[in-house]
Homo-oligomer: A and B are copies of this chain.
């Protein structure tokens, strides 16, 4: 997605250790028009795939996920990074965040996901795929099917890309980074 690649090049910052910071338009400040265009791309790709629910993990996935859900005309559910005491039927998994270097428990209420569901998982980033594998386990516990995965920015040289592609899931990344070459981003 050309506009997204331009935003990454113009507004992204490369920190040490292959970390791309896009706080200017995706992870802290959010560009609503760009987000809507992302949603349009996800919609175009998945509109005939009988998606029943869009699922994301709080927080940065919520904006593209809600706009995609609006276009697909299905509910959106955001997986929580805490287990609220008021949640009646929690399903949870522990994942490791490499960025934050700690384990995080992710949680969804069974009430909102079932064996009837064909889920489109939307997230802001795909790197090692830890979050995705956690979601995969949660959906398995809920007997729901993952019908597609839509990622805003992936680093295709890390493990997540290959894992999802090899699992045969319908997958799209709107910007796919091949490598960081001395501060220059090379896209696939």
Q: Does A188 contact B (CB under 8 A)?
A: no
Interface residues of A in 22-74 (CB under 8 A from B): 23-24, 28-33, 35-36, 58-59, 62-63, 66-67, 69-70, 73-74
Beyond A19-B86, A62-B63, A66-B63, is A112–B28 a contact (Cβ under 8 Å)?
Answer: yes
Is A21 an interface residue, CB under 8 A from the partner? yes
Contact assessment for A32 and B86 in the assembled complex, using a CB-CB cutoff below 8 Å: no
Which residues of chain A (1-33) have a CB below 8 Å from chain B?
A: 15, 19, 21, 23-24, 28-33
Q: How far is the CB of A108 from chain B (nearest CB, A)?
A: 8
User: Taking each of A28, A35, A62, A67, which has the highest tally of chain B beta carbons within 10 Å of its own beta carbon?
Assistant: A28
- Interface size of A by CB at 8 A reads 34
Min CB–CB distance A16 → chain B (angstroms): 10
CB of A75 closer than 8 Å to a CB of B = yes
Residue of A29, A70, A86, A87 with highest tally of chain B CB at under 10 A: A29
B66 touches A28 (CB 8 A): no
A153 at the interface (CB under 8 A from B): no
Closest to A53 in B: B29
Contact, CB under 8 Å: A77 / B30: yes
Cβ-based interface call for A109 (8 A): yes
What is the CA–CA distance of A69 and B109 in the complex, to the nearest angstrom?
29
Q: What is A's interface to B at a CB cutoff of 8 Å?
A: 15, 19, 21, 23-24, 28-33, 35-36, 58-59, 62-63, 66-67, 69-70, 73-78, 80, 86-87, 108-109, 111-112
